[in-house]
Amino acid sequence: MANRPLSPHLQIWKWGPHMLVSILHRITGDGMALVGLGVLLWWLGALASGPEAYETFSTLATTPIGYVVLVGLSWAFFTHLMSGLRHFVLDIGAGYELDTNKMWSIVSPVLGVLLTVAFWAVVLLK
């Protein structure tokens, strides 16, 4: 048998922010697909079913648990968006330098949080 190098295992890799962003990208995408689709279909069904059904949806969406779900979905959206833009830049061949990659791996989730806060400030303060 040839003495070939083995692929490194996860215990060998040093964890970095790029790994966290990659995992967050997958989690937020799945969360939006599962939870977001359910909320969207519920909203559309309530909208099509008439004022009483929409009032029920609106009442439940504005409870504390409803706000947690909606804020979580918006955070997932903005975090996924920022991570997707980071991946787009990587796909065109830029940003592979270690310092640049690390900086954007830290900045993208921070921007996701800031955009979520700004979005809800606009929604709640208007």
Phi-psi region of 6 (alpha: psi -120 to 50; beta: other; left: phi over 0): beta
Q: Supply the range of the domain harboring residue 47.
A: 17-125
In a domain, 93, yes or no: yes
In a domain, 80, yes or no: yes
DSSP 36: I
In a domain, 75, yes or no: yes
Q: Give just the sign of the alpha carbon dihedral 9, 10, 15, 19.
A: positive
User: What pLDDT, on a 0 to 100 scale, did the predictor assign at position 4?
Assistant: 65
Q: How many domains is the chain partitioned into structurally?
A: 1
**Residue 1 scores a pLDDT above 60:** no
59-106 confidence digits (pLDDT tens): 999 999 999 999 999 999 999 999 999 999 999 999 889 899 999 999
Q: What is the CATH number of the domain that holds 22?
A: 1.20.1300.10
User: What pLDDT, on a 0 to 100 scale, did the predictor assign at position 16?
Assistant: 86
**Residue 6 scores a pLDDT above 70:** no
In sequence order, the 6+-apart residues with CB closer than 8 A to the CB of 86 are 21, 95, 104, 105, 108
Write down the pTM of the prediction: 0.86
Q: Tell the burial category of 6 from Cβ atoms under 10 Å away from its Cβ (0-12, 13-18, 19+).
A: exposed
19-43 confidence digits (pLDDT tens): 999 999 999 999 999 999 999 999 9
Contact 93, 60 (CB under 8 A): no
* Binding-site sequence positions: 80
d(CA 98, CA 28): 25
* Binding-site sequence positions for heme: 80
